[in-house]
Amino acid sequence: MKFGELTYNDYTERIKAFHGTVAPGILLGGFMVNLAQEKLPEGGFFDVICETKTCLPDAIQLLTPCSIGNGWLRVLDLGRFAAVFYDKYTGLGLRIFLDRSKLEEWEEVKTWFLKLKPKNLQDSELLFAQIKEAGTSLFAIEPAKVHKNYLKKKKMGKTVICPICNETYPEAHGSICRGCAEELPYDLIQSNEDLENKKILLLNKTSVEESVGMHLLHDVTRIIYKKEKGVAFKKGHVISEENIQMLRELGKNNVFVEEHNPFVKGYKHENEVALDFAQHMSGQGICFNKIPKEGRINLLAEIDGIFVSDEEQLERFNISSGVICASLPNYNCVKKGDIVGATRAIPLYISNEDYLKAMNCLEKETLFTVHPLRKAKVGILVTGTEVYENLIEDRYTEIIQSKVEAYGCEVVSKEMVPDDIDAISSKIHDMIHSGADMIITTAGLSVDPDDMTLEAIIKAGAEDLLYGIPVLPGSMLVCAEIEDVQIIGVPGCGIYNDRFSFDLLLPRLLANIKITSRDLARMGNGGLFYN
Ligand SMILES: [Zn+2]
């Protein structure tokens, strides 16, 4: 019995030195590696994806050149005693896994593997004897091909110094290192002196009488019940004798003035950081007022359109300490000049560290955008034999027409067809030829046997088809494209319900925002309408 070049005894010695004890899982892993080496073509260069983080990775590291450190072994915590051995260039290889049905022949191996008895009641001598005897017969093999994106080795890239911790890290990770950007599983035990230095900046206050002739360090707000909220004195204002009375009326007996708070190293003023944040948050169609008011900067729509926010990026920014950004809900329609969001720091002075962490969350520069809505040329295709044969009156055309015209779209074609796959799909093509760039079919999308619209849309050559949307009413909606023409199949419920899934989706389609299954999945939150 050999494990690569090693005898059984050599192998168990190596295991002891590397893993601490001779665990059954590593011994078993040795047989898996044996099987892989026997079955894989000779002379290839193989990498391994191991599907458990327990024991098996150590067998692979002991018996093959593949290790975690050299990147040729990757460990996924899938909890399966299995590994894929594959050609590092082509991705072709074998997946070897412990075959549960084979365990039936080996009682003690089964007891151990399935944890059928507490460890102290297991017979380890018998277990090892059975593993040795069963050997490679415990495994099954299936061919596998590793995805292309997994084959590419990521280049290390440039190394830079983190401005917070002063340690080096790959530049591709962002403007600060991941150790500073993310929560760590440990705290450093700091001396009291270090802690003192990290406390929130305490500013020196000055009584309003003593502050005459000095410069205010911050905007002073005046709030009058239900009437007024605004800046009474701006940052930098020189306080005069006459101001004292008003400051007192505003409840200020003390103020922060520049003269008594010389610039503190390592801190930034709220106005300065709010401007930086706004600059990095503004994508296409967004502008912002350049002068902060009470520490806050408003972000505005530069054009009419639909407001789009990167919700994950916004969440990361708001998790960051000492800063906030509030915005309109995603995909709201806005007019030029509307405030779509606002940002500010919470304290008057924010530590440089918090500032850098917040800025690191805004790397993509596309937190907020406003996309213009196009004026689509719409074809409305009413499906349903009952409408086609005039058994009932069509009401859907006028409903859809008024919804699209509300966005300035033009209806260029209106047609009616029976529930017939060929009739529907050929009408879709007629509408494309007549210049429609958005075709809306109505009804015929439920599970009834007469409903043919979905099949007809597919037959017409629809690509990127999405069927089913987590919005009620209107979940059986279809969204697809034929060349550059958008095809939307709306379910029958729009006849009855004033608002349904189509109303949520329409502005996004008019903005030519590519809709993925993930985008649809997210619509579930807030996707319930009470009509
Ligand atoms: Zn760092």
21 with 145, same domain?
yes
Give the list of residues 6+ apart from residue 152 with CB closer than 8 angstroms, or none: none
87 with 176, same domain?
no
Give the list of residues 6+ apart from residue 527 with CB closer than 8 angstroms, or none: 469, 470, 471, 472, 501, 504
227 with 328, same domain?
no
* CA 178 to centroid of ligand 1, rounded, Å: 7
81 with 103, same domain?
yes
Alpha helix (H) ranges present in 114-267?
124-134, 148-151, 178-181, 192-198, 243-249
Cα separations (Å) of 482 from 30, 81, 488, 511? 54, 45, 11, 17
* CA 386 to centroid of ligand 1, rounded, Å: 68
CB 465 within 8 A of CB 416: no
* CA 179 to centroid of ligand 1, rounded, Å: 5
pLDDT given for residue 175 in this prediction? 92
Identify the sign of the CA torsion 450, 453, 459, 460.
Answer: positive
Question: Would you state the structure tokens that stand for residue 362, as one six-digit string?
Answer: 């805004």
* CA 51 to centroid of ligand 1, rounded, Å: 32
Residue 530 lies in a domain: no
pLDDT given for residue 450 in this prediction? 76
254 with 287, same domain?
no
Residue 527 lies in a domain: no
- DSSP character at residue 120: G
CATH number at residue 68: 3.30.1330.130
Query: Which residue, 315, 341, 371, sits at the end of a domain?
Result: 371
- What angle is formed at CA 95 by the lines to CA 94 and CA 98, rounded to 5 degrees? 135
* CA 501 to centroid of ligand 1, rounded, Å: 45
Q: With both helix axes pointing from N to C terminus, report the angle between 8-19 and 24-39 in degrees, rounded to the nearest 10.
A: 120
* CA 184 to centroid of ligand 1, rounded, Å: 11
Residue 382 lies in a domain: yes
* CA 177 to centroid of ligand 1, rounded, Å: 4
User: Distance (Å, rounded) from C-alpha 443 to C-alpha 452?
Assistant: 9
Domain of 397 in residue numbering reads as: 377-522
Q: Which residues are in the CB-under-5-Å shell of ion ligand 1?
A: 162, 164-165, 177, 179-180
* CA 360 to centroid of ligand 1, rounded, Å: 11
Nearest Cα to Cα of residue 452 among 442, 461, 462? 442
Give the list of residues 6+ apart from residue 199 with CB closer than 8 angstroms, or none: none
Question: Would you state the structure tokens that stand for residue 503, as one six-digit string?
Answer: 């109303």
Is the peptide bond between 57 and the residue preceding it cis, with omega within 30 degrees of 0? no
Residue 229 lies in a domain: yes
* CA 324 to centroid of ligand 1, rounded, Å: 22
pLDDT given for residue 311 in this prediction? 93
111 with 182, same domain?
no
Residue 265 lies in a domain: no
User: Distance (Å, rounded) from C-alpha 69 to C-alpha 260?
Assistant: 55
9 with 147, same domain?
yes
446 with 506, same domain?
yes
CB 421 within 8 A of CB 456: yes
Residue 381 lies in a domain: yes
* CA 169 to centroid of ligand 1, rounded, Å: 8
348 with 312, same domain?
yes
Residue 267 lies in a domain: no
Question: Would you state the structure tokens that stand for residue 442, as one six-digit string?
Answer: 């109505």
Q: Is the pTM of this model over 0.95?
A: no
Residues recorded for the chain? 531
* CA 357 to centroid of ligand 1, rounded, Å: 10
Strands in 146-195 per DSSP E:
159-161, 168-170
CB 458 within 8 A of CB 489: no
Give the list of residues 6+ apart from residue 207 with CB closer than 8 angstroms, or none: 253, 254
Query: Which residue, 318, 337, 371, sits at the end of a domain?
Result: 371
* CA 162 to centroid of ligand 1, rounded, Å: 5
User: Distance (Å, rounded) from C-alpha 241 to C-alpha 211?
Assistant: 9
Residue 528 lies in a domain: no
CB 211 within 8 A of CB 193: no
448 with 365, same domain?
no
Alpha helix (H) ranges present in 167-320?
178-181, 192-198, 243-249, 270-281, 311-319
- What angle is formed at CA 270 by the lines to CA 350 and CA 357, rounded to 5 degrees? 45
Cα separations (Å) of 60 from 33, 92, 344, 481, 530? 7, 18, 52, 48, 58
CB 48 within 8 A of CB 33: no
CB 493 within 8 A of CB 471: no
Nearest Cα to Cα of residue 74 among 159, 154, 158? 154
Q: Which residues share a beta bridge with 87?
A: 46
Give the chain's domain count.
5
The span from the first CA to the last CA of the chain, in angstroms, equals: 74
CB 382 within 8 A of CB 416: yes
* CA 140 to centroid of ligand 1, rounded, Å: 46
- Based on its alpha-carbon atoms, the radius of gyration of the chain, rounded to whole angstroms, reads 33
Helix (H, G, I), strand (E, B) or coil at 353: helix
Question: Would you state the structure tokens that stand for residue 324, as one six-digit string?
Answer: 């906030």
145 with 193, same domain?
no
Q: Which amino acid is at 178?
A: R
* CA 166 to centroid of ligand 1, rounded, Å: 6
Cα separations (Å) of 339 from 106, 121, 223, 286, 309? 70, 70, 21, 10, 13
> Per residue in 507-527, pLDDT tens?
999 999 999 999 999 999 989
User: Distance (Å, rounded) from C-alpha 473 to C-alpha 280?
Assistant: 38
pLDDT given for residue 263 in this prediction? 67
* CA 171 to centroid of ligand 1, rounded, Å: 11
Nearest Cα to Cα of residue 441 among 465, 425, 463, 459? 425
Q: Mean pLDDT across the chain, nearest whole number?
A: 91
> Which parts of the chain have pLDDT scores under 50?
none
pLDDT given for residue 386 in this prediction? 81
CB 307 within 8 A of CB 370: yes
CB 28 within 8 A of CB 131: yes
315 with 360, same domain?
yes
Query: Which residue, 371, 392, 412, sits at the end of a domain?
Result: 371
pLDDT given for residue 292 in this prediction? 93
* CA 174 to centroid of ligand 1, rounded, Å: 10
CATH number at residue 360: 3.90.1170.30
CATH number at residue 396: 3.40.980.10
User: Distance (Å, rounded) from C-alpha 489 to C-alpha 443?
Assistant: 7
* CA 97 to centroid of ligand 1, rounded, Å: 41
* CA 393 to centroid of ligand 1, rounded, Å: 68
Helix (H, G, I), strand (E, B) or coil at 481: strand
